[in-house]
Amino acid sequence: MNRLKNMSRTSRNNGLTYLFVIVAFAALYAYRASGMMKSAMAGMLVPICVYVVMALSLNLTVGIMGDLSLGHAGFMSVGAFSGTSVCLVLHNAGVSNAVCLIAGMAVGAVFGAVFGFLIGIPVLRLSGDYLAIVTLAFGEIIKSVLNTVYLGFDAKGLHFSILRKSYELGEGGLELITGPMGMSKIPRIASFTAGFILIMITLFVIFNLVNSRVGRAIMALRDNRIAAESVGIPVTKYKMMAFVISAAIAGAAGALFGMNYSSLIPAKFDFNTSILILVFVVLGGQGNMLGSIIAAAALTILPEALRAFSSYRMLVYAVVLIAVMLITHNDTISAYVRRIREGITGIVRRKEADA
């Protein structure tokens, strides 16, 4: 107990976030194992994990770095198609599902990081609305390019073409990406456990980055760029590090997302997906990782929970979303919740002192 009291506020918050994720995973895993969970809800477990990871990765850019990105779905799509392609090839070669899953997510993270670096070179020289517009453009460009990609694999190796299929596969060849038709016959090997592990790895990476010298430099740039530059903090270097890490995490999440479905199309990763992920971050609180987790999980489940309302469900979803945003960003309500929290903390401390 004394050790808990001596911990910094940041360490306690980080520990609470880890604990929340572990408890939620254990509860949902046990609920599914009992057979009481509906199939629709069971099918949403992996997408919930994916969107939680996407919200955490975008919060690194928006909340920690302080830059608005509207093209995060682009990195997700790069990871989805690259990681799923590798998974498809390995699975066709008889490799185990676990190895396929790990390799696919690793490749998705690498490709996400590469594209994050390439896009970050021109983008991170901008700020404010200009940066948001350019990231939006890059997200749409990535989606449009994927609509024109044809990729196949046979005994001679990879075959690649743009705009139209200009190659012929040999016997036993495998079509990986077929332009706007995307990918098909994907082995559905993504699992809830893999999603949980990815969330924990993401939290570990983000928390360690934020609490490091690099993280403090990134937040200094966010708070006052001129002051940070005046003491010798290199702007481009640290912002690029955060942007690349965020893109890599998004790429791994995209790979997990792709391996959860039997088919995948580029149109899935459009502007609306980027905005949805941004809503998770804004609703949960910029820089608040636990808030992003709760917001992403709740808003992913909510449309399915409202399916009984039929054609009115999206209207109800919008009303609930607006109401929650108004409540969570209301200073009076926030102060009231803060007083309740402080009162509970005071009671606990008095009981500890009496004991």
pLDDT tens digits, one per residue of 200-241? 999 999 999 988 888 888 888 888 888 888 888 888 888 899
Query: In this prediction, what percent of the chain has a pLDDT beyond 90?
Result: 28
Give the residue numbers spanning the domain of 174. 42-270
pLDDT of residue 234: 85
State pLDDT tens for residues 266-291: 888 888 888 888 888 888 888 888 88
Q: Is residue 132 domain-resident?
A: yes
pLDDT band at 70 (very low <50, low <70, confident <90, very high): confident
Under 8 Å between Cβ of 49 and 257: no
Q: Is residue 313 domain-resident?
A: no
Q: Is residue 228 domain-resident?
A: yes
- What one-character DSSP code corresponds to residue 150? E
Between the alpha carbon of residue 257 and those of residues 161, 218, 306, the distances in Å are 25, 29, 23
Under 8 Å between Cβ of 108 and 80: yes
pLDDT band at 7 (very low <50, low <70, confident <90, very high): low
Is 160's pLDDT higher than 60? Answer: yes
Q: Is residue 221 domain-resident?
A: yes
Q: Is residue 225 domain-resident?
A: yes
C-beta atoms surrounding 276 within 10 Å:
17
Q: Which two tokens stand for residue 255?
A: 């790979």
With a CB cutoff of 8 Å and minimum separation 6, the contacts of 184 are 175, 178, 262, 263
Distance CA 21, CA 201 (A): 12
Q: Is residue 59 domain-resident?
A: yes
Under 8 Å between Cβ of 174 and 152: yes
Phi, psi of 162 (to 5 degrees): -120, 145
Is 190's pLDDT higher than 80? Answer: yes
Q: Which residues pair with 178 in a beta bridge?
A: 150
Q: Is residue 13 domain-resident?
A: no
Q: Is residue 298 domain-resident?
A: no
More confident position, 288 or 335: 288
pLDDT band at 244 (very low <50, low <70, confident <90, very high): very high
Is 245's pLDDT higher than 70? Answer: yes
The radius of gyration computed from the CA coordinates of the chain, to the nearest angstrom, equals 22
Distance CA 350, CA 355 (A): 9
Q: Give the closest residue to 148 by CA, choosing from 139, 157, 161.
A: 161
Q: Give the closest residue to 88 by CA, choosing from 68, 103, 66.
A: 103
Give how many domains the chain has, as a whole number: 1
Under 8 Å between Cβ of 203 and 289: yes
Query: In this prediction, what percent of the chain has a pLDDT beyond 70?
Result: 83
Distance CA 21, CA 203 (A): 10
